[in-house]
Every structure is written in structure tokens, then in C-alpha cells.
Amino acid sequence: MRWWWIPLLLFALFLGVAAYQLTQPKDEFVPSAMIGEPLPAFDLRPALEGMPGLSSEDLRDGKPRLLNIWASWCVPCIAEAPQLERLRDEGAEIVGVAIRDRPEDVAAFLSRYGNPYTRIGADDLSEVQLVIGSSGVPETFVIDGEGRIAYQHIGDIRAEHVPRLLAELRKAGE
Amino acid sequence: MIAELGLAALWLAAALAALQLYAGAMAQRGHAGGLAVLVRPAAIVQGLACAFAFAMLLWLFAITDLSVKLVATNSHSAKPLLYKLTGAWGNHEGSMLLWVAVMALSGALIALVERRLPERTMLATLAAQAFVGLGFYAFLIFSSNPFERLVQPAAEGLGLNPLLQDIGLALHPPTLYFGYVGLSVAFSFAVGALLTRQVTPEFARVMRPWVLGAWVFLTLGITAGSYWAYYELGWGGWWFWDPVENASLMPWLAATALLHSASVLAARDALRAWTIMLGVVAFSMSMLGTFLVRSGILTSVHAFAVDPQRGTFILVLLALYIGGALVLFALRAASIAEGERFSATSREGALVFNNVMLTAILGIVLLGTLYPLLTEAFDVRVSVGPPYFNPAGAFFAVPMLLVMAVGPLLRWRRDSLGRIQRPIVLCGVIVLATTVAALAIGEMSILALLGLALSAGLAVASLLPLRGRRLRRVPLAVWGMVVAHFGLAVAVFGMASETAFSQERLAAVTVGETVRVGPWQVTLTEVLPNAGPNWTAIEGHLAASYAGGAPVELDPQSRSFWAPVQQTTESALATRWNGQLYAVVGSEAREEGAEARWQLRLWWKPFVTFIWYGGVLVALGGAIALVGRVGADLRRRTVRRRAAERRAEGTA
């Protein structure tokens, strides 16, 4: 056999492996670096009159909660609003952090799309958002009763994500 | 309406490519009849139609037409116009359309200007070009339609990957694509020549400008990409051996080898089969690169949008084109004899040696890139990085640099080392002196030491072909070689110096604190939040002074984008002639009751900029040679025409 068949053989080998690999499923789950880390200390003023603000102390009373990062100007936040309501109806306590928002916009958003929150803090400079490793809105964290981050959900919550969030919340409470 | 016009133009171009392929193939079998005359016009109109389709896509992005899916998922009405336009190719569908458009336009250009090849080889080349084009048209129309409409227009776009909102990266993909596509032309020439068994020096001269052009763009693209990765990714490195980086390096290595072997074929009628082989391999490497980054088959830090269905489509195209060309090569290689003989110590000998070294480095990179893929088939996850690539690559690069210094001084066909004894001794002395000087400065790795010494030797050696000649008489092609080889020496010096002398400091500092790195003193003056049109950031303000001089202000940022969600690091650079200070600000570390501390990462990288100056010089050398070659061709053509006119006058 002459050398000019060798490239073809190597190429055939590559094709075989690549074709096999393409049929294998890929794992899309990307674990966050913040999982297991304690929340840094913060104290946010209320984002809405008549509702309490949010501090890191509030999240250390032994009860696991969902911490939802959102904003009234965020379009996907509208999409996830019904799922937050559903999570609350299933018994989850949800606290919110409103990013770069105004009280009147917050009030308008909540009266239009529902208010699932027990507390909302106003993060006017994205300071809390930056230090807890959130890079966008919306984003949802599961915080265990000791104030540690147990789970991070990036992007809006869709119906199929609700069971996983509830399961993570239960796990964080154990 | 605009989207539909674009799609219609795309279909028209596809139909013309089919016609071009059919007519070209029939002409090979000798019964094309009147069809053969259609091949050139079909190629020209196909190029125009495809360019029109791309222009329509640009228009859609310019006006942010959110009823088009591609625009809605990749653009945003708030973006600056420049990034709206670059967004047209900053995504899978748009970049594939750009690829096809450039390829179709090159086909049109060949059809318009190329008159030197035998007509049959020319038609076979255009048919091969149409065959490659058809696959990409099918890919666009059936699997990645850039003009797809949404049933319901979107209210707002999702934005463009923020990493791509950067002028460097906006220009980086098209630059690389011109390179890839130029290689597709070389591929079509190689297939055409194989089909008609016409592998001649004339063929090499016709193919060479295309390879040169592609190579210049690849060089620029790789250089720009490396600098972008260096300042944007924030980790302070300039080459990661990431699959995406390798995807552009592999075609460059193959094209570099092809360029040199085509020169041997053009000048001496040797290395016929080898040149054809490299023509096939060079384009195969650009296809392979596309496949690797588009299919999601390999995990990469660059992480493109991935889709196994598209991966399968490209794999089928790969099998057809590369498999087909390799079968053709295996069948025909015997009948294109090797041509002229030469002795080992000659210009050809040196070129062959470096061709083999380049091919070996290509093999090393290819193996390292594909190895994780292979082991994953057996459920073992490995990642191959610098500890493999650096020494393995250097093992072949070192002898290559040595021969590169001497090769251009040798004569064609047969020469003796005795004749060039003095330049060899001169380079040897420079290499030794540099080694001693470097050892005196401090400890460094053996690779860095070799790099420093060889770059000094090569820099001097690369200028020697100009010695004793009247500089204004030296042909542009020789100037190009000198500049390119000198540029490589500059780049190697930058790499070695960065490896040998870099200093790094990682510190958690409070505002007002000062950190030293190398000759620099850096003070953190304040940290402030900052916000842009679609991001928020923490921004550190640093005052950096070099050896006690006046301070420069640096503002590195850690940015967060929300459409789509992504975190990026904007490093800040202070550039001096002898290197760069590289600063990154990280997250805050706050302890109870204590003052806030910020993570600050600083590097002092002596002469790191020489890497990219060198890259640009290499590309410049290629461009000079290209101008020289094309100019010489044009002159020859004018001389021939004048002679024909004189003959016509004489007979009249």
C-alpha cells in the first residue's frame, strides 16, 4: 500500500469517533461557584412602601427561602411571575431583590403581575447582585436557614423548573 | 419583504451552483456540448446573488427587524449601529452566510480573471468550487436559515453575546473567514488538478496568490484573536491551546506548509503530490475547525452555541468533501509523478524539511485537540493543555527555526554548507551570546531560553538574503519573505520573553493600599460601581507608576451583562515600549468589622507586545509577497499583449 492511502484511513477513523460522539447526550448543567458559600452581609432599604426591606440577617433564622433577583424593567421577569406565584402557593417563602428600580415602578409591576414576596430589598447599585455571584435578572437562589447559598437558578423560572426548585428548597431545609 | 428577497437570492445562488457543477462535470466527460460556456457566467452570477443575500441580512440587522428570528435572538434596538451590523455575523447562521458569500465571490473572481490554466482544469476547479458551495447552501437553507421569520414579531431582541461586543472580535471572524475561504479555493484548484492530472508549475503559480491571500488573513485573524483573548478574557494569557484556538492554528500550519511547497513546485517542478495533499489538508483543517466549534462535540472555554443536528450536517459535508478528495488523491497520486530531483542540501531540501516539521506540529496539535474526543468515547474525561502542546510543539519548532535561518541562503537544486559557512558561524555566535546573556539575567525554563536564543539568531539570519544586494532591485517576493521571517523571530522573542520574565502579584487590597509588581507601583485609589447601556460593573481605579515615574490611571472592570446573562472581565493595560502592565480587579472579600478588600491581580509582562507586532509583520510580509506576485503576473501579461500587438502590426 502506498502512503497516499494513510490520510484517508486516519480521516475515516476520525469520522467514526466523531459520529459516535455526536449521538451521545451532553450534560447541560453548569454548577455555580457560589454553591455552599455564605451570603455576604448586606442591608437593603425597602423597595416598596409598606413592605419590609431585606438584610442578610433576615435569612439566618433557620428557615430556607427562595431569593429572587428581579426588576420591573426586566421582560423575562414578567414571564416568570406566574411561576413565582405557584411556588408561593406550594409553600415556598420568596424574598426579592429589586435591581436598579424605582418604588413607583415596583408598585406598578407588582399590582399588575402579582406579589409573591414577603420582603423586597432595593439594590440600587447592583452591589448585592454582584457579590452573590448573580450576573443578570431574573435569577433565583435557594438560601438555607443558615444564610448559605444552596442552589442557583440562572434565567427565568419556567413551569418545568418548579419541581426542581421545590426539591432544592426541601433539601436545604433538612 | 427584505428577508424574502434575501432567501430568494440564496436559492438562486444555490441553483446556479448546481448548474455550474453539472456543466463543469459534463465538460470533464467531454460531452458538455454548449453547456461548458455556461460555467464561468454561472460562477459570476452565483457570486453576485450570494453577496446580495448577505447584503439583505446586513440591512435586516441595521434596521433591527424583530420579525426575523435571527435578528430577534442576536440583536437589540439599543445597540450601537456598528455592533448591530457586526451582529449579522456574530452568530452561527450569519457567519455561515458570510462564509458562503465570500466563497461564491471568490469563485466569481476566478471565473473573471483566471486565464492561465488549461480550460479543462479551470472548469474542473469551478465545478469543485460549486460542489463545496452546494453543501453550504443546503446547510443554510435546510438547517440554518438566517432569514427565518417569527410567527409573532418579538417585542425586543435578546442582545448579542457581550463578549462579542468588541471591535476586535467584530473584525476577527470575517478576517479568519477570508482565510478559510481562500483555502477552499486552493482546495478546489487541487481537486481540479487531480481530476485532469495537470499538476504543473503553472498550476502552482495560479494557486499561490490564493494561498498567500488566505494565509495573510489567517495570520491577521489569529494575531487579533490572540490579543483579544489576552485583554478580554482577563486571565492574562495569550494562548490557551483551546480547541477554538487550535481550530484556526491548524489551517494556518497547513497553509504555511502549502505556501512553501507551492513555491518549490512553481520554481522547480518538484513536490507535486505533496503540494496537492497539503491543498486538501489545509481546507480540511478549516472545515474540521468549523465542525469542532459548531457541533458542541468538544467543550471549550469559548463555548459557542451548540447543536448536534448541525454538527451532523457538517460532519456529512466533511465526509463528502474531505473523504472524496482523499479518495481521489489516493487514486491519482501515482499518476502525478514527483517531478524534478534535488539533493538534500539545497533550497528545496530546506523547504521540504520545514514542511515535514510544520506537518509534524500540525499532527501534534490535531492529536491534542482530538484526543479528549477519543477518550470520551471510552468514558474518560481528559483535557490536554500546555504541558503537552508546548514541549511537543517545541520539539519540532526548534529544528524548524534553525533550518529556517539557513534555508533562504541556499541555492536551488544543489548547494554546500561550506559556501554559506560565514553566515552560519555568525548566527551561531549570536545564538550563543544570547544564551549566555539570558543565563546571566536569571533562571528560566529551557523552552524560554531556547526561544530567546533562536529568535535572536533568526532575526539576524532573516535579514541576510538582502546582504550585498541593491535594496531597490530586490524583488518584492524576497522582501516579503524577509519581513515575514523577521516577524516570526519578533513573535518568538515576545513569547519567550513573556514566559521567561513575567511577574505576577495577586493581592487583596484596601482602598489606598499600594502593591509592587516588577518595576511598577500600583495604588488602588477607589472602587466604584459603574453602569453602561446593557451592563453593570464594579470598576477599580488604579494609579500605576513605572520605576517611580508619573502615574498612569488604569480602570479595570468586572462587568455583568443581563441580555444575555454573562460576566466579563475588562482588564486594563498600561503599554510601554518594553512591555505591558496587566491589571484585573476581582470580587470583594469583606470580613466582619474590617475594611473592604478587593482582589487585585497584576502582571508585568516584558516585551509581551512583540508577540502581536511579530504576527502583524508576518502578515505584512505575506501581503508584500502577494503584491509582488500579482504585480509580476500583470506585467508579464502586459508584455505578452504588447508582443502580440507588435506581431499583429508586423503582419498587417
More confident residue, B98 or B81: B98
Which of A13, A15, A21 to substitute to test the interface with B, most B CBs within 10 Å? Answer: A21
Average the pLDDT over each of A12-16, B52-56, B430-434 and give the range with the smallest value. A12-16
Rounded (to 5) percent helix, strand, coil in chain B? 65, 10, 20
Contact A22 B315 (CB under 8 A): yes
pLDDT digits (tens, 9 = 90+) for B231-288: 877 777 888 888 888 888 999 999 999 999 999 999 888 889 999 999 999 999 988 8
Q: What are the grid coordinates assigned to A45, written together? A: 432599604
Share of chain A above pLDDT 70, in %: 91
Are residues B403 and B396 in contact, defined by beta-carbon separation less than 8 angstroms? no
Of these ranges, B27-31, B203-207, B338-342, B634-638, the one predicted with the greatest mean pLDDT is: B203-207
Answer whether residue B151 shows pLDDT above 70: yes
Contacts of B285 (CB under 8 A, 6+ apart): B183, B250, B251, B253, B254, B362, B366
Average the pLDDT over each of B31-35, B237-241, B390-394 and give the range with the smallest value. B31-35
Mean local confidence (pLDDT), B113-120: 85
Of these ranges, A41-45, B163-167, B305-309, the one predicted with the greatest mean pLDDT is: A41-45
**Separation of CA A68 from chain center:** 7
pLDDT of residue B590: 64
Answer whether residue B46 shows pLDDT above 80: yes
**Residue B588: count of CB within 10 angstroms of its CB:** 17
Which of A126, A127, A156, A157 to substitute to test the interface with B, most B CBs within 10 Å? Answer: A126
Mean local confidence (pLDDT), A3-10: 85
pLDDT of residue B562: 62
Answer whether residue A129 shows pLDDT above 70: yes
pLDDT of residue B154: 74
CA distance B361 to B605: 27
The single-letter code of the amino acid at A45 is R
Which of B274, B326, B527 to substitute to test the interface with A, most A CBs within 10 Å? Answer: B326
Chain B interface includes A13 (CB < 8 A): no
Residue B297 Cα, gap to closest chain A Cα (Å): 6
**Chain B residues with beta carbon closer than 8 angstroms to that of A1:** none
**Chain A residues with beta carbon closer than 8 angstroms to that of B587:** 130-131
CA distance B569 to B232: 6
Contact B297 A129 (CB under 8 A): no
CA distance B580 to B332: 53
Answer whether residue B297 shows pLDDT above 90: no
Are residues B159 and B534 in contact, defined by beta-carbon separation less than 8 angstroms? yes
Answer whether residue B304 shows pLDDT above 80: no
Residue A116 Cα, gap to closest chain B Cα (Å): 23
Is the peptide bond prior to A138 cis by the omega test (within 30 degrees of 0)?
Answer: yes
Mean local confidence (pLDDT), B559-579: 79
**Chain A residues with beta carbon closer than 8 angstroms to that of B291:** 18
Facing A136 at nearest CB: one of B323, B529, B560? B560
Please give the C-alpha separations between residue B94 and each of B60, B102, B144, B309, B632, in angstroms, as whole numbers.
11, 12, 9, 17, 37
In this prediction, residue A28 has a pLDDT band, given cuts at 50, 70 and 90, of: very low
pLDDT of residue B160: 55
**Chain A residues with beta carbon closer than 8 angstroms to that of B566:** 135-136
In this prediction, residue B565 has a pLDDT band, given cuts at 50, 70 and 90, of: low
Neighbouring-strand partners of residue B562? B565
Contacts of B319 (CB under 8 A, 6+ apart): A15
DSSP B303: -
Contact B333 A4 (CB under 8 A): yes
pLDDT of residue B305: 45
Contact B531 A40 (CB under 8 A): no
Residue A168 Cα, gap to closest chain B Cα (Å): 22
**Residue A73: count of CB within 10 angstroms of its CB:** 14
Answer whether residue B306 shows pLDDT above 60: no
Contact A100 B531 (CB under 8 A): yes
Chain B interface includes A40 (CB < 8 A): yes
CA distance B622 to A53: 64
pLDDT digits (tens, 9 = 90+) for B165-192: 667 667 777 888 889 888 999 999 999 9
More confident residue, B197 or B76: B197
CA distance B7 to B12: 9
The single-letter code of the amino acid at B476 is L
Residue B162 Cα, gap to closest chain A Cα (Å): 12
Which of A124, A130, A139 to substitute to test the interface with B, most B CBs within 10 Å? Answer: A130
Assign B609 to helix, strand or coil: coil
pLDDT of residue B170: 74
Is the ipTM higher than 0.85? The answer is no
Chain B interface includes A39 (CB < 8 A): no
pLDDT of residue A152: 85
**Chain B residues with beta carbon closer than 8 angstroms to that of A15:** 315, 318-319, 323
Assign B583 to helix, strand or coil: strand
Classify the phi-psi angles of B241: left when phi > 0, otherwise alpha if psi is within -120 to 50, otherwise beta: left
With a threshold of 0.95, does the pTM exceed it? no
